[in-house]
C-alpha cells in the first residue's frame, strides 16, 4: 500500500472519530438528565426564574416588571442574537401574574419611546385584565422616557410616578414611508409593478401617494388616534377635551405631565414601591422580578457552542437584513422613525 493510501485512511479515520465524538456529545446534551439541547440551541428559556429583590413575606408578593426599549415583537433572545425588549417573554410575565394568587401588587417600570400599535395594545389588554380579574393595584414608575406607546401602557395604572425630567406624553400615532422615485430615476433604476387593484401598491417608494390614498391613510390614523385618546380618558378619569389639550403629539416633562393630569406624583422607582406598600398594607411583601436563565453549566456550554458554531458577524447582519419587514406601519412612537 502506497503512502497516499495510508494518508487517506488516516484522514478518514480521524474524520470518523471526530464525527462520532460530536454526535455522542450532542446525544448527551439531548438526554433528559442533561436538559433539552434543542431548546438551548434555539435560544428558548429552559425555565422562568423569580429573583427576590427585597421583603420576607412570600404569601403576599409584589411583582416588579420592566419595559425597557422599543415595544416591538422582533423575536426572542437567542444565544446568538439577544434582543433588548422581548415582547413574548413580557406577555408571559403578565400571564403568570394573572394566575398567581400570591401576587398582591405590580410595579411596572417603563423606559420606552413607545413602539408598535399592536404590541402596545397587547400589553394594555393584559394589564387591564389583571386589574379586572385579580383586583390588585398596578403602580407605574416612569424612567427617563415613557412616551407614546410607553404612556399608552402606563395609562391603566392605579398610580403613575415620574421624574421631573422624564419625557412623557407624545400621545398620537405616526406612520411614515420613503419616496425615492426621483433618486431612482437619476441613477437609472426602474420598477415594474403588476397589481390586482388600483391601491395594491399604496405607499410604494416608487410613486407619489394620490389624494384619495392620503385620505384613506389619514382616516386610519385618526381612528387609531381616537382609540389612544379613549385609553387615556378611561385610565386617567379625564374628559376627552382634557386629554386632547395635550394629545397633539407634544412631549412633556414630569412637572407639566403632573399639571396636565397625565401622572399622579413626582417620584422615583423607590418612591413608587414605597407608596404601593403603604397604600395597600404590603410593607413586608416580597418584591421579586422574573428572569429567564438557562442556568449554570447549560448557559456556559450554550455560549461556547454558539461561539464555535454560530453565525459570524457578517452572517448575523445578512440574517437581519433578510428578516426585517420594512413595510410602513402605524406606531405609537416618539423620536426617530
- The position carrying cell 433618486 is 183
CA pair distance 179, 76, nearest whole angstrom: 32
Beta bridge partners of 287: 54, 62
Read out DSSP for 279-321? HTT-TTEEEEEEEE---HHHHHHHHHHHHHHSPPHHHHHHHHH
The C-alpha cell at 51 is 429573583
Residue 97 in contact with residue 63, Cβ under 8 Å?
yes
User: Nearest-CA neighbor of 109 among 146, 66, 147?
Assistant: 66
Q: What is the pLDDT of residue 337?
A: 52
Report the distance separating Cα 243 and Cα 121, nearest Å: 19
Instruction: List per-block mean pLDDT (blocks of 10 residues) for the chain, which spans 337 residues.
Output: 62 62 50 39 53 93 97 68 81 94 97 96 97 97 97 98 97 90 84 88 87 94 97 97 97 97 98 98 96 54 50 53 63 79
Query: What pLDDT score was predicted for residue 74?
Result: 79
pTM to 2 decimals? 0.77
pLDDT of 32 reads: 40
Matching residue, cell 403568570: 96
Residues marked as catalytic: 148, 200
Q: What is the DSSP string of 113-164?
A: -EEEHHHHHHHHHHHHHHHHHH---EEEEEEEEEETHHHHTTTT-SEEEE-T
Residue whose cell numbers read 381616537 = 226
Please answer whether residues 133 and 98 qualify as being in contact, where contact means their C-beta atoms are separated by less than 8 angstroms: yes
In this prediction, residue 46 carries a pLDDT of: 40
Amino acid at each position: 500500500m502506497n503512502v497516499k493510501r495510508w494518508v487517506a485512511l488516516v484522514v478518514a479515520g480521524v474524520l470518523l472519530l471526530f464525527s462520532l465524538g460530536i454526535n455522542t456529545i450532542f446525544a448527551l446534551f439531548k438526554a433528559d438528565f442533561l436538559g433539552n439541547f434543542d431548546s438551548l440551541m434555539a435560544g428558548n428559556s429552559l425555565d422562568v426564574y423569580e429573583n427576590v429583590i427585597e421583603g420576607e413575606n412570600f404569601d403576599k408578593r409584589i411583582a416588579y416588571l420592566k419595559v425597557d426599549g422599543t415595544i416591538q415583537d422582533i423575536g426572542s433572545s437567542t444565544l446568538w442574537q439577544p434582543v433588548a425588549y422581548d415582547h413574548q417573554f413580557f406577555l408571559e410575565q403578565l400571564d403568570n401574574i394573572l394566575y398567581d394568587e400570591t401576587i398582591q401588587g405590580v410595579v411596572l417600570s417603563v423606559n420606552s419611546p413607545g413602539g408598535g400599535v399592536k404590541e402596545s395594545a397587547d400589553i394594555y389588554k393584559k394589564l387591564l385584565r389583571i386589574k379586572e380579574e385579580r383586583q390588585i393595584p398596578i403602580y407605574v414608575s416612569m424612567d427617563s422616557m415613557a412616551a407614546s406607546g410607553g404612556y399608552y401602557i402606563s395609562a391603566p395604572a392605579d398610580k403613575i410616578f415620574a421624574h421631573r425630567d422624564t419625557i412623557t406624553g407624545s400621545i398620537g400615532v405616526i406612520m411614515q414611508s420613503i419616496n425615492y422615485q426621483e433618486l431612482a430615476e437619476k441613477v437609472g433604476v426602474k420598477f415594474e409593478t403588476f397589481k390586482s387593484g388600483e391601491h395594491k401598491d399604496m405607499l410604494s417608494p416608487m410613486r407619489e401617494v394620490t389624494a384619495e390614498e392620503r385620505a384613506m391613510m389619514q382616516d386610519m390614523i385618526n381612528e387609531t388616534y381616537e382609540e389612544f385618546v379613549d385609553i387615556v380618558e378611561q385610565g386617567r378619569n379625564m374628559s376627552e377635551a382634557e386629554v386632547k389639550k395635550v394629545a397633539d403629539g407634544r412631549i412633556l416633562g414630569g412637572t407639566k405631565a403632573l399639571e396636565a393630569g397625565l401622572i399622579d406624583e413626582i417620584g422615583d422607582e423607590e418612591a413608587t414601591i414605597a407608596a404601593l406598600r403603604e397604600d395597600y398594607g404590603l410593607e413586608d411583601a416580597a418584591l421579586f422580578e422574573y428572569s429567564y436563565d438557562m442556568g449554570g453549566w447549560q448557559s456556559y456550554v450554550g455560549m461556547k457552542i454558539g461561539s464555535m458554531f454560530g453565525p459570524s458577524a457578517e452572517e448575523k447582519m445578512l440574517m437581519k437584513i433578510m428578516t426585517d419587514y420594512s413595510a410602513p406601519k402605524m406606531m405609537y412612537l416618539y423620536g426617530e422613525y
